[in-house]
């Protein structure tokens, strides 16, 4: 995935509070993750805790990672660092800014009255409209404050702990999925997944698979937004690989040594890949109706 060098980034769509701390608590309240928020489920949280050797009491369950441009410090002004597509091609945080810009550009052109959501970069823990969350929950969307939250260290864990190949488009898939939840919130679709059910055809799985499909729809139009210059077949393959890595069945097998479909909340690896592909091949949000029909 390569950005147009002269594309102008809007860093105002991203808030950077990395390293600023905050009270560690549990994520809860109206519209929390159970209403369609995170790209990974509770079993994934358990897996992260186990692989980090902790019981959830620490404040740095997922490290931010190392390398050039992965952090700018607490309260940093990304607008001074992430100005163009060339910056996005060089720095991870600027790349995510560029993805956010591209995703929101597409949905603003697609949904009448689209309201922008702010993405927040954090480390360890963050205060949200849904409560205080640890980075162990992975990237998530909070409906009450219409915010996407991500500890960029999750992308390292996507490879080292969840077994994904990783890469820039794998990162973009995660962001596009969370903005899929924002679209659902704006359209009122979240209200169709309030019954707390689990399983392969549950409302929670339908909500998550629709967000995967919406991510695929954006990918089909990513170049049209003029932020991204090129998506290759390898980029899409890495996105599909990431979708498989966070499938309920894959995560359950890693964490428990067995698969229990009745406990699924996000969908199997196959389901997640298939619905992303549905969105990508069609390029049409209307093809993402996961709530019609018995089968998924």
The pLDDT tens digits of the residues spanning 30-41 come to 334 444 478 886
pLDDT at 180 over 80: yes
Q: What are the structure tokens assigned to 208, written together?
A: 């998550």
pLDDT of residue 44: 54
The pLDDT tens digits of the residues spanning 107-162 come to 999 999 999 999 999 999 999 999 999 998 999 999 999 999 999 999 999 999 99
- Identify which of 136, 156, 149, 137 has the alpha carbon closest to the alpha carbon of residue 181: 149
- Identify which of 89, 76, 266, 62 has the alpha carbon closest to the alpha carbon of residue 161: 62
- pLDDT confidence of 293, banded at 50, 70, 90? confident
Structural domain boundaries in the chain:
8-288
Q: What are the structure tokens assigned to 7, written together?
A: 């594309």
The pLDDT tens digits of the residues spanning 162-177 come to 999 999 999 999 999 9
> 149 φ, ψ to 5°?
-125, 135
Q: What is the mean pLDDT of residues 185-209?
A: 93
Total-model pTM: 0.87
Beta bridge partners of 147: 118, 142
Report CA-CA distances (Å) from 130 to 4, 26, 124, 133. 36, 9, 16, 8
pLDDT of residue 63: 22
The pLDDT tens digits of the residues spanning 60-105 come to 211 222 223 333 444 457 999 999 999 999 999 999 999 999 999 9
2-11, 54-63, 193-202, 254-263, range with greatest mean pLDDT: 2-11
Q: Burial, 60: exposed, middle or buried (Cβ in 10 Å; 0-12, 13-18, 19+)?
A: middle
pLDDT at 1 over 80: yes
């Amino acid at each position: 995935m390569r950005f147009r060098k002269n594309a102008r980034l809007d860093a105002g769509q991203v808030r950077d509070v990395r390293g600023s701390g905050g009270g560690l608590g549990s994520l809860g309240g109206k519209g929390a993750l159970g209403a369609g928020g995170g790209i990974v489920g509770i079993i994934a949280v358990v897996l992260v805790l186990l692989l980090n050797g902790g019981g959830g009491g620490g404040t740095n369950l997922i490290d931010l990672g190392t390398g050039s441009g992965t952090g700018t410090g607490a309260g940093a002004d990304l607008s001074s660092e992430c100005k163009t597509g060339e910056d996005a091609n060089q720095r991870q945080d600027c790349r995510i800014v560029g993805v956010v810009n591209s995703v929101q550009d597409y949905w603003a052109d697609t949904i009448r009255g689209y309201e922008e959501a702010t993405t927040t970069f954090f480390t360890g823990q963050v205060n949200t409209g849904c409560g205080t969350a640890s980075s162990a929950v992975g990237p998530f969307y909070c409906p009450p404050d219409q915010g996407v939250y991500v500890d960029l260290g999750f992308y390292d864990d996507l490879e080292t702990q969840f077994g994904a190949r990783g890469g820039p488009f794998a990162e973009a898939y995660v962001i596009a999925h969370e903005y899929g939840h924002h679209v659902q919130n704006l359209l009122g679709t979240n209200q169709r997944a309030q019954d707390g059910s689990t399983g392969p055809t549950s409302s929670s799985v339908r909500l998550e698979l629709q967000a995967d499909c919406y991510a695929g729809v954006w990918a089909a139009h990513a170049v049209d937004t003029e932020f991204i210059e090129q998506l290759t077949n390898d980029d899409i393959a890495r996105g599909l690989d990431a979708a498989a890595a966070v499938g309920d069945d894959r995560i359950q097998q890693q964490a428990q040594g067995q698969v229990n479909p009745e406990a699924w909340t996000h969908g199997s690896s196959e389901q997640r890949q298939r619905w992303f592909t549905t969105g990508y091949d069609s390029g049409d949000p209307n093809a993402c109706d996961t709530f019609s029909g018995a089968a998924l």
